[in-house]
Amino acid sequence: MADTAEGRIPLRDLILVPALITLGITLLRLTGELMRWSETLFSRRAGGAFAIVGIVWLVPIFGVYFALKLAARGERPRLGRAIALGVLGLIIALPFTTALGRSLHLGQQGWILLFAVGSLIGLGVAYQGWPALGGTLVAYGLAARIPVAVIMLLAILGNWGTHYELGPPDFPAMAPLPKWVWIGLVPQMTLWMGFTVIVGGLVGSLAVAVMRRGSRNPTVA
């Protein structure tokens, strides 16, 4: 639960509808790939190739949604701190981790592990900026990413021909279960969780900051 000045907000009430929408889009994406629909909408290339139909685009949307809901219920975070820690978390998770990996000359599995650690550290940093929003995004992230991890396992075992069973370029051949751990379970529970909390929290904090600024400086008709 998330504490506010007006009481406790059940996480279930905050994330239920967003989680169901996210699950629906995940299943739509899977159906589109299995049915070989538009590659632009439902890309089957490794990583998803930023296809239009995908749950990655929901993170900033629901980040704003959660932040505004919490603010409306009495949350008064220090938005400057929340934004600064969100930016720092993003720097740790992406450019810093990328630079470190290049200096270490890692293989594919080394990169996955490094980004897993960097993403979790970045998540932890961003979380501290606005813990109520961070906790909500963690819960939403788990609701969004656990189904994807399950679908990836089934896709790898069944060789469905979707992006869910494809690893990075030149990823070494291995048995289905270890492959799922490396390209499915670990990234979904670390990289994508970090993305959800960092990006969702940063965009949500910025939205509340803009809303507050607007309320203090109403437009004169």
**DSSP, residue by residue, 109-121:** HHHHHHHHHHHHH
- Note the pLDDT of residue 220: 40
- Note the pLDDT of residue 5: 42
| pLDDT range class, residue 50, cuts 50, 70, 90 | confident
Return d(Cα 93, Cα 172) in angstroms, integer. Answer: 24
The answer to whether residue 49 scores a pLDDT higher than 90 is: no
* 172-191 pLDDT tens trace: 999 999 999 999 999 999 99
- Note the pLDDT of residue 3: 47
Domain extents in the chain = 2-216
Report the b/e string of 52-83 with b at 16+ CB within 10 A.
ebbbeebbbebbbbbbebbbebebebebeebb
- Note the pLDDT of residue 221: 36
* 1-26 pLDDT tens trace: 454 444 456 888 899 999 999 999 99
- Note the pLDDT of residue 4: 42
Q: Quickly count: other Cβ atoms within 10 Å of residue 137's Cβ.
A: 30
**Structural contact between residues 142 and 8, judged by C-beta atoms closer than 8 angstroms:** no
Name the pTM for this structure: 0.91
